[in-house]
Amino acid sequence: MDKNLVQANERVDELYANDIKIIQSPEVFSFSLDAVLLAHFAKPYTKANGRIVDLCAGNGAVGLFLTAKTKAQINLVEIQPRLADMAQRSVKLNHLDEQVTVYNIDLKQTNDYLAKDSVDTVTCNPPYFADLPTSKKNPNQHLMLARHEITTTLKEVVAMTSGLLKMGGRFYLVHRPDRFLEIMDVLRAERLAPKRVQFVYPKAGREANMVLIEAIKDGKDGGLRFCEPLTVYDQEGNYQPLIKEILYGKG
């Protein structure tokens, strides 16, 4: 490992299932299980002539995890300079410079760098919480921007996604179940037909705390499928076998 890539108060975490290393820091927003599950749920375009975009990329986790599934070019869009810098260093750490490009830009600027109707797959792990006057916000600016819709909104993310995607291109989103109906409405308003949904539960007997969604640009109406639910932990607090496999690989 090149120690020059890892700065003070940073660590390197690894997704052992595909041998990807991610530079993280307790001072900023770190990837967690939602990023891992989004990359697992996604079925990206696989050929080298394809283009994938990960919006709200953070420290690059989702895009880097997708490299195990595809030879396509992957473009990461992240507004926070520190997170974009960490993503860029993680790209170098994994020797993926020729496949993965990081853009430290506002999501609204994406079309200045990536043409409309040119992308095969878009993924996004966006801020989950609406920016309401009553919202409790973390005093850490990095965490606040990652969790709350301050620099972008669900509607902006979906509109940008629709503009980027080719006809028939696929969008993969992870979000909160309490915004499910809103997400469905926004997707359909932007020519994205929801096709596959999977709810994620922390434990049996608990409410879902994540939802994974696949939508197709200009897809036909109907045909929405609800996948078997994912449960993360057993009653003793250990990872369920499938989650363990997603994180650490088979065996």
Alpha-helical runs (H) found in 15-133? 33-41, 61-66, 81-93
Q: What is the pLDDT of residues 45-64, one digit of tens each?
A: 999 999 999 999 999 999 99
| pTM for the predicted model, two decimal places | 0.92
Compute the distance between CA of residue 39 and CA of residue 186 in angstroms, rounded to an integer: 22
* pLDDT value at residue 146: 45
Compute the distance between CA of residue 166 and CA of residue 64 in angstroms, rounded to an integer: 22
Res. 250: pLDDT tops 80 = yes
Compute the distance between CA of residue 166 and CA of residue 65 in angstroms, rounded to an integer: 23
Average pLDDT, the chain: 91
| Residue ranges per structural domain of the chain | 3-248
Compute the distance between CA of residue 66 and CA of residue 202 in angstroms, rounded to an integer: 24
Average pLDDT on 101-118 reads 97
Instruction: Kindly report which listed range (29-33, 136-140, 177-181, 210-214) carries the lowest average pLDDT score.
Output: 136-140
Q: Which superfamily is assigned to 3-248 in CATH?
A: Vaccinia Virus protein VP39 (3.40.50.150)
Q: What is the pLDDT of residues 227-248, one digit of tens each?
A: 999 999 999 999 999 999 999 9
Compute the distance between CA of residue 29 and CA of residue 238 in angstroms, rounded to an integer: 24
Helix (H) or strand (E) segment spanning residue 173 = strand 165-175
Compute the distance between CA of residue 249 and CA of residue 13 in angstroms, rounded to an integer: 15
Selection from 14, 102, 99 nearest residue 55 by Cα: 102
Compute the distance between CA of residue 15 and CA of residue 192 in angstroms, rounded to an integer: 31
- Banded model confidence at residue 182, pLDDT cuts 50, 70, 90: very high
Selection from 59, 48, 73, 57 nearest residue 21 by Cα: 59
* pLDDT value at residue 204: 95
